[in-house]
Amino acid sequence: MCVDFFNKICRNWDEISKPDSHKIHFLLQKLSWNVSKRVLDVGTGTGILLPFIRHYSPKSLIQAIDIADGMIDIAKTKYAKWKNINWIVSDIEKQIYRGKFDQIILYSVFPHLTRKTETISYLVNHCLTDDGELLIAHAQSREFLNHLHKHKDERVSNDSLIEIENQCSIFEQQGLGIIDADESDEYYYIALGKAYASSITVMPAPPNCTCSSWK
Ligand SMILES: C[S@@+](CC[C@H](N)C(=O)[O-])C[C@H]1O[C@@H](n2cnc3c(N)ncnc32)[C@H](O)[C@@H]1O
């Protein structure tokens, strides 16, 4: 389970994962931030993305969720004085949100999901506002990340990305609308929008889920 891995390395995460500001800005600019009021940062980790989200959406309410309590604890300490952040330790693949978000961001998280298509479909169809957007983003190439995970630790060795065209086809087969997608030696991203769907296929709720609502 990747949760054990991330809890184990949480204290070193900020050292081993220095954010590349230029690339993060490039990736976040794939979203249109003019309407952002509520942002869901999935797999927030130690909160590396939070200052960037605040940059684009200074007054937004941010829901920061992570399956690893060790990661969230560090983020909470780092941003203890920040207002309008709601911290949740939970598995995004099991938690059902009744609240709606203008932006949902999965930065450096997607390979670690076990039910990728179902989870993204659920988030787009149930957790985005009508003109909301969801961004899957990485500041490294697919090849780099797949190699890193494969050789890093057995708990993440199968966590991988597939070619972006194939991933987009899978999403489109589920009725999800792609706003923009690209991959290179430097990045990998897919932006999805509810308003871009050709035909909506609403995925059923995952079994044994718990419920939570934005307060
Ligand atoms: C590679 S780290 C990235 C953390 C942060 N986004 C960053 O860029 O520094 C992946 C994070 O996703 C979290 N994660 C993995 N699977 C998750 C899930 N199903 N639900 C919530 N968080 C998850 C991990 O605990 C970890 O903190």
Q: What is the pLDDT of residues 160-196, one digit of tens each?
A: 899 999 999 999 999 999 999 999 999 999 999 988 8
pLDDT score of 201 more than 70: no
Token output for 4:
């054990």
Token output for 155:
């708990």
**Which residues does a 6 A CB cutoff place in the pocket of ligand 1?**
2-3, 6, 17, 43-45, 48-49, 65-68, 71, 91-93, 107-109, 112-113
Q: Which residues pair with 107 in a beta bridge?
A: 137
127 with 99: CB under 8 angstroms?
A: yes
Residue partners of 171: CB distance under 8 A and separation at least 6: 117, 120, 121, 178, 190, 192
CA of 106 to the centre of ligand 1 (A): 8
CA of 192 to the centre of ligand 1 (A): 19
pLDDT score of 197 more than 90: no
Q: Which atom of ligand 1 is nearest to the CA of 7?
A: 25
Q: Which residues pair with 192 in a beta bridge?
A: 134, 178
CA of 199 to the centre of ligand 1 (A): 30
On whether the pTM is more than 0.85, the answer is: yes
Q: How many percent of the chain have pLDDT more than 70?
A: 90
Q: Which domains does the chain have, with CATH numbers?
A: 2-212 (3.40.50.150)
Give the model's pLDDT for residue 199. Answer: 54
- Pocket probe mutation, ligand 1, options 23, 49, 66, max atoms within 8 Å of Cβ: 66
CA of 165 to the centre of ligand 1 (A): 24
Give the model's pLDDT for residue 41. Answer: 97
Query: Which of the listed ranges 4-8, 88-92, 211-215 does the model predict with the highest average pLDDT?
Result: 88-92
Mean pLDDT across the stretch 33-60? 93
CA of 6 to the centre of ligand 1 (A): 8
